Structure 1
Amino acid sequence: MLAYHQKSFLIVDDFSDFRSSVRSMLRELGVKDVDTADSGEQALRMCSQKRYDFILQDYHLGDGKKNGQQVLEDLMIEKLISHESVFLMVTAESSQAMVLSALEHEPDAYLTKPFNRSGLAQRLERLEQRKTLLKPILQALDRGKPMEVLNACIALCKEDPRYGPLCLRYRADALRDMNQNEALERLYNQILADRPLPWAYVGLGRLHFKRGQVLQAKEIYEKALKAFPMMPALYDGMAEVMVVENDTKGAQRVLEEAVRLSPLAVRRQAQLGKLAMTNEDFETASRAYRQAVSQGAQSRFKDAESNLGLAHALISKGSDKGLDTRTRLEINTTLSVVAKENPADPGLQIRARLMKATSLLLNDAETAEKLTEQAMLRLEGMEQFMSPEAALLVAKQLQMLGQDKAGASMLKNCAEIYGDDPVVMQSIAKLTDDPEILSSSNAAAELNREGVRVYKTGNLPEARTLFRRALTMQPKNISIALNMAQSLLHGTDTSVASAELEECRGCLKMVGMMPDTDARYPRYQKLKIKAFGE
């Protein structure tokens, strides 16, 4: 039986009557340590100062405040909650959308109001029994030691094979964290052969996709969606596959279904907005981005890209007939948030000004010109790299605003940084036919590919020569610079000053101007730690 008198509880709800009612129930069960909070922000402060064994978190905490889902995200990412703790999501609403949205973030349980003391006690007892049984695994998770997690799973299964099913997901996550992909694939296949589980389908699909096995991933998702049509993560995976297959309209349809099932996921809404913009479905794009902005206001996943995306969608939607007063107001409000909340980010400041200038082009040409001049001045002194998507949009807007020379310069810079990416070069080709811009990347990309091939043979001097030649042609190219840095670090003693080490550090300093959203950023960080000893 649960030793209530030894456990600490936190009740989070914006209604004082509910907090008092649940506290009374817990007192009657023998709980002595009960704290309460009326907001998510207060709950996070309290969890940063004290560890709770049980958290009863209401989902809705009032307009303009963090909801329960966002509190759980923060608790997990900031590591303010132990894996041994029990987190119960509480809500009076039981709609499909609400339940699926809450469960996507995997609280320990979902509790629907109203409930009585007996029902609460039964739920708490079952959850505590499970946590106690899995204690060695949960403690290893708290330490961030996947090998310990795996060993704890093995030990528990030896103690009693009946516990095997409880350990499956922990085993899979541990293998994933250790990059044991072959063993992970075998485990997923064993699980699915025995009993199809939705999370195993998601994991196997992601594993195939990560390996570049797009067709295999698609087959997994298709099979899984027939068995589990209510699983939003499966639709996310299928949409990723379809994007790689250049079926962006199909990907949008799939993601729209995921949003219909679980509409409260900020990043999913933003991804839908991005896909809809690609498909020039500006109505869907503006709706999705509007949801991402609204839902993200109190979320750690708040992203200025959603605000910029919303403004862009609204401008594009009204390009034929002009913007009405209400739309112009929404655009101004949306962009003002970006400018106000990101004063130290020159890229966002530039993009917000150009976006606003574009929206004013037909209604207020004088103000549009002033904003464009301000953006161009900032652009001249900017060192950080924009993402290719942002750079291409800036170039296009500059062209629309009559700044052809600045637009061409932006495209040239984008080709130099991302010229090894054929998708980026295809997008650049849609905005210019300048052979100097379009052909500059071909020779450098070929040298880079040859350098990678030679590097794999172990011929470091030749590989470095090829990478250097490629960098001479495109000195800002991220991929080439990373390859150069890696080749220079190979076999180099980083504790002793050398020409190779200095050249490597120079490459990494340049690459450090890349956006942290770039898929290559983790690789850069690993090389940086090795080169600089940070």
Structure 2
Amino acid sequence: MRTALSMTLSSFGANRVDFASRIHEALSRVQRGDIDVVLSDLSLSHPFDGLRLLEELKTRNLLKQSAVFMIVTAEANAQTVLSAAELAPDDYLLKPFSGETLRQRLVKAVAKKQAFKVVDQAILQHDYLRALAECNARIEERDPYVIDFMRLKARLSLLTGAFLEARQTYEQVLRIRPAPWARMGLGKSLFRLKDYPNARRVFESVLAENPYAMEAYDGLAGCLEAQEDLLSAQEVLSRAAARSPAIIQRQRQLGELAQRNADWPVAVDAFRNTIEYARYSFQHDAGDYAQLSQSLLASGETQSAEQTLAQVRRAFHTPQSDLLAHVMEYGIASARGDAVRAGKSLQAAREQFAELKDNLPGTYSVALAEACYRAGDEQAGKEVVSSLLRNQHDDVAVLRKVEQMFVAVGRESEGKALIEDHANDVVELNNAAVRMAQAGDLEGAVHHFLSALAERPGSMPVALNAISAVLAYVGQHGWHDAYMQLAQDLLARVGAQDPTNGKYQKMMQAYRMVRQQFGIKGA
């Protein structure tokens, strides 16, 4: 099959044809070369189907907009599934197919995708504002592919946090044609705008017409969870996972919902599936093993939790995963009544935390904090949570995890007060810098933010505010080599964490404008 396909593609003019059996191999090949066409299989029951590959390529920004992504499948429901996908392939072919059919489809798809070369460089460089400007220009000119540019504009708007702009664009598309993907995007936009009732109605209407619109299950479950209907949210995700089990984030979310509902058998199955499907993916995470261990302990399966601990130690070899393994061991030892082993494990985790606290995933910190509170060490638990909130006070997912942890350990009011205190600290920090800037002390504002950044090295909002203050100072007082280098370094740090952050995009634009102001060319 591979030889025949390679010969067919070569006859069309392809100068290099690569093959990959697993998703990590495909991602690696795309990263290594300038890929123009991707042909991928689709199977709803397969852990690495084409839609998953497309999602990871887009999420990791590895595939240029002008590249063609085509699904090759034997799934009879392919058209139904793909029609509602917000991230849809450019085309699909049902097996079996002839070489001539493949050639015709590729020629048509390549011709269309050439129109998107204008945004290739901007998107691959994470310059989404420039890409959006190009989309707007093409829409204004009534480009032959205007609907496709509107689709890209809406997706980039969602990506960069411009949710109102995304909603308006999807609504504009729907006034032109009843595209299922636009309804899906509208639901996502309404959800991000926290209009949960209307988002829920959109997702329910999509599913009523197309039960294979898999993203709508995720959106509907998110709305139900936001409205605190956790049992219904779990039921929706269970239906989706039964129909298409291979989406890692769906299985992980199902496990977390089942944990909150104390439905331990479902939680155990979901986290086992998460681990299995993520094993060869960049989403392979020691945190899923910890969640599985916790669910097993709640089910009374202590020996299985021990086996999960051994698995995580074999699969991961980082200081962060070692810390999490110690937390898992604490839970297992506590369940066995082994106070000595539990104490040693928790102490080892706390010692590692002292070195890793600014370089530790939020979920790992929450797991350690919960262990400290359950061990009766309130001060240690509070220290871990405070360190986390200093660096990730704006991360909604992390805040939700912290709140859930405090509920689980019976300290809900204490948790709310701690979160509120840190939020107030950030507000006051920003207000103090604003007062300095308004008084004309821009340099004082810069130093104020840099001092805050020393205390909160992982805080993106503080880093972005520091960049803003630096650029304001340079714009008013003249070029400053050290400050501009600092702005560049901070932008690189934030970009590595979250290149789609809307304020980061604006700061990148402001940084380039300041350089242009002083006649400095280049990035």
1:450–1:43 CA distance, 2 compared to 1 (3 A) = closer
Question: Matches of 1:210 and 1:497 in 2, distance apart?
Answer: 39
1:448-476 deviation line (CA, Å, top 9, x unaligned): 557768988998459999x98xx99xx66
Instruction: Select the residue among 327, 332, 348 that pairs with 1:354.
Output: 327
**Number of the residue aligned with 2:5:** 22
Q: In structure 2, list runs of 5 or more residues that go unmatched.
A: 124-130, 516-522
* Matching of residues 80-229 of structure 1 within 5 Å: 81-92=63-74, 106-113=88-95, 115-117=96-98, 120-141=99-120, 143-144=122-123, 145-155=131-141, 157=142, 165=147, 167-173=149-155, 184-229=166-211
1:277–1:207 CA distance, 2 compared to 1 (3 A) = same
Query: Is the aligned partner of 1:257 residue 2:257?
Result: no
Query: Is the aligned partner of 1:332 residue 2:309?
Result: yes
1:216–1:46 CA distance, 2 compared to 1 (3 A) = closer
Counterpart AA for 2:369: A
Contact 1:73–1:105, Cα closer than 8 Å, also in 2: yes
Contact 2:217–2:237, Cα closer than 8 Å, also in 1: yes
**Number of the residue aligned with 2:406:** 428
Instruction: Select the residue among 316, 336, 343 that pairs with 2:318.
Output: 343
Counterpart AA for 1:352: A
Q: What is the aligned-residue identity percentage?
A: 21
Contact 2:68–2:109, Cα closer than 8 Å, also in 1: no
**Number of the residue aligned with 1:234:** 216
Query: Is the aligned partner of 1:375 residue 2:375?
Result: no
**Number of the residue aligned with 1:14:** none
Question: Matches of 2:165 and 2:465 in 1, distance apart?
Answer: 32
Question: Matches of 2:284 and 2:266 in 1, distance apart?
Answer: 20
Question: Matches of 2:20 and 2:466 in 1, distance apart?
Answer: 51
Contact 1:415–1:438, Cα closer than 8 Å, also in 2: no
**Number of the residue aligned with 2:127:** none
- Aligned Cα RMSD in Å? 5.3
> How far off is 1:296 after superposition?
0.7
Question: Matches of 2:166 and 2:501 in 1, distance apart?
Answer: 24
Contact 1:417–1:478, Cα closer than 8 Å, also in 2: yes
1:524–1:357 CA distance, 2 compared to 1 (3 A) = farther
> How far off is 1:387 after superposition?
5.7
> How far off is 1:437 after superposition?
8.2
Counterpart AA for 1:379: F
1:31-51 deviation line (CA, Å, top 9, x unaligned): 675635363466556555654
Task: Please report the TM-score for the alignment, with normalisation by the length of structure 1.
Answer: 0.70
Counterpart AA for 2:2: R
SS at match of 2:348: helix
Contact 1:332–1:356, Cα closer than 8 Å, also in 2: yes
**Number of the residue aligned with 1:302:** 284
Contact 1:448–1:480, Cα closer than 8 Å, also in 2: no
Instruction: Select the residue among 369, 372, 380 that pairs with 1:398.
Output: 372
Counterpart AA for 1:35: V
> How far off is 1:384 after superposition?
1.6
1:344–1:460 CA distance, 2 compared to 1 (3 A) = farther
Question: Matches of 1:308 and 1:255 in 2, distance apart?
Answer: 21
1:376-409 deviation line (CA, Å, top 9, x unaligned): 3223444326566543432332344465654454
Contact 1:239–1:251, Cα closer than 8 Å, also in 2: yes
1:198–1:23 CA distance, 2 compared to 1 (3 A) = same
Task: Please report the TM-score for the alignment, with normalisation by the length of structure 2.
Answer: 0.71
Aligned length: 489
Contact 1:350–1:378, Cα closer than 8 Å, also in 2: yes
517-526 vs 77-86, which deviates more? 517-526
> How far off is 1:294 after superposition?
0.6
**Number of the residue aligned with 2:519:** none
**Number of the residue aligned with 1:493:** 474
Q: 1 or 2, which has the higher helix percentage? A: 2
250-259 vs 416-425, which deviates more? 416-425
372-381 vs 31-40, which deviates more? 31-40
Contact 1:398–1:404, Cα closer than 8 Å, also in 2: yes
1:281-335 deviation line (CA, Å, top 9, x unaligned): 22211111111111111112222222222222212222xxx52x4x145422432
Largest Rg, 1 or 2: 1
Question: Matches of 2:461 and 2:274 in 1, distance apart?
Answer: 35
Contact 1:357–1:369, Cα closer than 8 Å, also in 2: yes
Contact 1:98–1:262, Cα closer than 8 Å, also in 2: no
Question: Matches of 1:217 and 1:56 in 2, distance apart?
Answer: 33
The structure with higher relative contact order (CA 8 Å, sep 6+) is: 2
**Number of the residue aligned with 1:4:** none
SS at match of 1:302: coil
Question: Matches of 1:183 and 1:69 in 2, distance apart?
Answer: 26
Question: Matches of 1:217 and 1:83 in 2, distance apart?
Answer: 28
1:112-165 deviation line (CA, Å, top 9, x unaligned): 44x242xx422431342243144223443454333334434554x46x6xx655
**Number of the residue aligned with 1:15:** none
Question: Matches of 1:428 and 1:128 in 2, distance apart?
Answer: 57
Question: Matches of 1:386 and 1:44 in 2, distance apart?
Answer: 26
Contact 1:89–1:110, Cα closer than 8 Å, also in 2: yes
**Number of the residue aligned with 1:9:** none
> How far off is 1:247 after superposition?
2.5
